[in-house]
Structure 1
Amino acid sequence: MALDVRIFETISPSRFISFTIPNPNSPSHLLRVAVLDSPIHSSTRIAAAMLVPKHRETDWIFSTESGHLQLLLNLPEISRLILIGGASDTEDNERLEQRLKPLVIALSPKTLTKEEVPFLIYEDDVVSRVEIERSVGPYVGEMLIEDVEIEMDLGVREFRRRLRFKRMPNLVQSEIKIVPGRSGEEVKLQLRELVHPYLAPMVASLSLIGYELRGKPKALCIGVGGGGLLSFLKLELGFEVTGVEIDPEVLRIARGYFGLEEGFASVHVGDGVEFLKRLSCSDDDDERKFDVLMVDLDSSDPIHGVSAPPVEFVARDVLLAARGVLVSGGVFVINVIPPSKRFYEELKYVFREVFAELYEIDVGNGENFVLIATVSVRDGKRGFTLENLAPVVLKYIDAIQRI
């Protein structure tokens, strides 16, 4: 049955329509077209088109409803996005765009003119990728483990292993640097390097511990993911690490693909809030007192996208429990992705009510902030010494600001 293009004359929020058409450059091959109307109301009626990068048609960001939604949320000025995928390896994108202009004009809202339908370019740093495994966890849902080759500055390329969750298709949940093995050999995992953007700032926060650490310092990590932070704390800094992860499948992946060994950390499977509250009520000081508590948890909803931490984690009783598991000079470090300025200001207000001092690191990626709360007022001296670490960590020590 022929598609009536009149249905595209107006924006219908959250509408999704897909169909196939012959490739105008090669009629024997089909292109898949998806017309996506943003769920966000806007006074503008701007449409744009985008060619799906070659060999990326099955990627979550282009093939799932949540992926399409994330694309739209990242393009708030666009009311309608027209995705076109299926171009062949040898296809000339510029030539294909020219041939597709009459189509995208026909699929655009009635009020738009030809000049108002640009072709956008989807850009990321991925040069190539190999899917390692897809898995499903009882709490986080479907996950993807993949090895990618990425383009760094000055044309340098680097290999990484990544963990992604389907509920946030374009978000890299965890990643570590790898060195590809020769034919028949396994890849080598570089567990002493931090590549995920907010992990170096979280480690830099250790400089605010209010005393000189002796013996084996203790760290409690809520949210394990791929386990890169836990492995680094153990291998590079000599911490005794306790972890809490709600999804047992995530923990299996961390151990099977990201190098988190049993001896690196004692990991408990369970809810982080319940674990904190239970631990704070323990009579055993040796069990419950930590030098640092690090929290890396996120939540997502269909409209606002990813945010961190989950709202329930920063309730006053939870923060009091967090303070209760730390020694007097200890620090609470948390990764924050604020969905709004108001959320972030309210978050800082609650922290100030419970902790003595509050510090911030702007990660600089336009998304993450690291908040550091101290149990007691500091005397101005640096705590845990980090001078022997990589320059990327030292850079963030200088970026710590009291707020």
Structure 2
Amino acid sequence: MALDISIFEIINPSRYLSFTIPNPILNPSLSSPLIRIAILDSPIHPTTPSSPSSSSSSPPTPNVAAMFVPKHRESDWLFSTEAGHLQLLLSSSNIQRLILIGQQPIINGPGSHSVYRRPIDSDSLNNLEMTLKPLVIALSPKNYFKNGNVEVPFLSYEDNVISSLVLEKCVGNFVGEMLVEDVEIESSDQGREFRRRLRFKRMPNLIQTEIRIVPKRVFCMDSFEIGGHNVEFSHDLGVLVHVYLVPMVASLTLIGSRIEEHVQVGLRPKALCLGVGGGALVGFLKAQLGFHVVGVEIDEEVLRVAWKYFGLEDGDFIQAFVGDGMEFMAKLARGDGCHEGVGHLDPQFDVIMVDLDSGDLINGVSAPPLEFVRKDVFLAARSILCESGIFVINVIPPSRSFYETLIHDFQEVFPELYEIDVGNGENFVLIARALPTVSFISDCENNFLKKLRLAISGAYMDSIKRI
């Protein structure tokens, strides 16, 4: 059936179509003889004319762009799914139609592992761009050309991934399809750096969990490759590589004296983590800072992945539960601390850390979920904290008003509220506590604070600001 090009003459919000054409550049090294074209129109209408000469009563001129899918990454969810396409479109400034061009994705069979290696040569795309330019113009809306546009810009996608290997794809009851992959990334210190990542298909460009991994046995790093024969990695849980986790841990500065008092009498500080994911934060708190950690994760399959691939251990000082974090806190606040398999759970914690997101394909990722921002949730959290404990939340505000409302709701329950700006233009860490910590231990005598400063960036410890 022939494609009717006329259907692309206007922007149709959220319309997504894909089709294939024969590859116009004959090259025996190509893995597919077909080119896949995918077109997505933004769900968000442009609100202002794109040029000063446009009439306010006329519809704004839509911005259009094309993008080549990186070679050998055609099967990545970011480039082969509508959800990934939408993330690419929304991350490109004011684009109303994004046209993706790449080879036909290769569908891997059950149990197969796909390896990606960035091409060593810079394989020029000029010929393909020139060949497909008439098609790209034909796929652009008529309004795009009314102000004299004669070209459709070609965008390039770049990230720091050198190579990757998919270890497993699976499906969780709550999070849907997910994958675990090992990647080698570019390193600022010119060394070789390897990570293990957990990604969800519903938000393909978001890394849910990331930990550093190191080769177990390597005699020559120059010849080592991800996906190579008998390659094994061990987990390095002593480093937090997700940028917002470091300031979350830095919040412990506010209760450093209390934790030091615990340690001096032989007690472990206790943390409750809502949202375990791959367990990077849970493992760090236990391994580096000596915490007894209780983690709550809503999807049992995510916990299985954490145990199998990310070094999460369920033992004496890490207890992981499947359930809803808000319900879990409410249950503890009511005094019902009995849980199958572990007996009675003491509901008093030194810190509660919340890392829950609300993935919305149109509005992007925000955190915490809207249903978490309730007074009864905050009251439950306060009731299960020790007298001078802290409540720490990773926040990705979808709007300034959301953030201001969240701060107001916190201040109705907690008299002291602090903030750390992560510095990436996206995340903030809010820290609430009911009472200040009173201690006779000075900072210079506090071994816990010394350990904390060695384990994370001291800059975040020094940037805690009271609101």
State the number of aligned residues: 403
Structure 1 CA distance for aligned equivalents of residues 150 and 423 of structure 2: 35
Higher Cα Rg, which structure: 2
**Secondary structure of 1:288's aligned partner:** coil
Per the TM alignment, residue 112 of structure 1 is displaced from its structure 2 partner at its CA by 2.8
Query: 2:239·2:455 contact (CA, 8 Å) conserved in 1?
Result: no
Query: 2:256·2:448 contact (CA, 8 Å) conserved in 1?
Result: no
Query: 2:209·2:277 contact (CA, 8 Å) conserved in 1?
Result: yes
1:210-252 CA-to-partner distances (Å, cap 9, x unmatched) read 7432121011111110011111111111111111111111111
CA 1:96 to 1:155, structure 2 compared with 1: closer, same or farther past 3 Å? Answer: farther
Question: Unaligned stretches of 5+ in structure 1?
Answer: none
Question: Could you say which residue in structure 1 is the equivalent of 2:461?
Answer: 397
Which one-letter code corresponds to 1:81 in the other structure? Answer: L
Question: Could you say which residue in structure 1 is the equivalent of 2:249?
Answer: 203
CA 1:211 to 1:337, structure 2 compared with 1: closer, same or farther past 3 Å? Answer: same
Per the TM alignment, residue 55 of structure 1 is displaced from its structure 2 partner at its CA by 1.3
Structure 1 CA distance for aligned equivalents of residues 191 and 142 of structure 2: 45
**Does the alignment pair 1:280 with 2:336?**
no
CA 1:387 to 1:170, structure 2 compared with 1: closer, same or farther past 3 Å? Answer: same
CA 1:79 to 1:270, structure 2 compared with 1: closer, same or farther past 3 Å? Answer: same
Question: Could you say which residue in structure 2 is the equivalent of 1:7?
Answer: 7
TM-score, structure 1 normalization: 0.94
Query: 1:331·1:373 contact (CA, 8 Å) conserved in 2?
Result: yes
Question: Could you say which residue in structure 2 is the equivalent of 1:269?
Answer: 322
Match of 1:386 among 426, 446, 449: 449
**Does the alignment pair 1:40 with 2:44?**
yes
Match of 2:129 among 97, 102, 110: 97
1:39-86 CA-to-partner distances (Å, cap 9, x unmatched) read 111134000000001111111111112112222222250010000011
Structure 2 CA distance for aligned equivalents of residues 259 and 346 of structure 1: 37
**Does the alignment pair 1:358 with 2:417?**
yes
Query: 2:74·2:104 contact (CA, 8 Å) conserved in 1?
Result: no
Structure 1 CA distance for aligned equivalents of residues 400 and 93 of structure 2: 17
Of 70-79 and 7-16, deviating more is 70-79
TM-score, structure 2 normalization: 0.81
1:171-186 aligned within 5 A: 171-182=206-217, 183-186=229-232
1:274-353 aligned within 5 A: 274-282=327-335, 287-353=346-412
1:55-66 aligned within 5 A: 55-66=72-83
Question: Unaligned stretches of 5+ in structure 2?
Answer: 47-59, 106-118, 218-228, 338-343
Query: 2:285·2:291 contact (CA, 8 Å) conserved in 1?
Result: yes
Question: Could you say which residue in structure 2 is the equivalent of 1:250?
Answer: 302
**Does the alignment pair 1:228 with 2:280?**
yes
Question: Could you say which residue in structure 1 is the equivalent of 2:221?
Answer: none
**What value does the CA root-mean-square deviation take over the aligned residues?**
2.3
Per the TM alignment, residue 123 of structure 1 is displaced from its structure 2 partner at its CA by 1.8
**Secondary structure of 1:112's aligned partner:** helix
Question: Could you say which residue in structure 1 is the equivalent of 2:234?
Answer: 188
**Does the alignment pair 1:239 with 2:271?**
no
1:80-113 CA-to-partner distances (Å, cap 9, x unmatched) read 0000011897852233222222221111111334
Identity among equivalent positions (%) equals: 60
Question: Could you say which residue in structure 2 is the equivalent of 1:111?
Answer: 143
Structure 2 CA distance for aligned equivalents of residues 203 and 272 of structure 1: 19
**Does the alignment pair 1:81 with 2:98?**
yes
1:19-58 CA-to-partner distances (Å, cap 9, x unmatched) read 1122222289221001111111113400000000111111
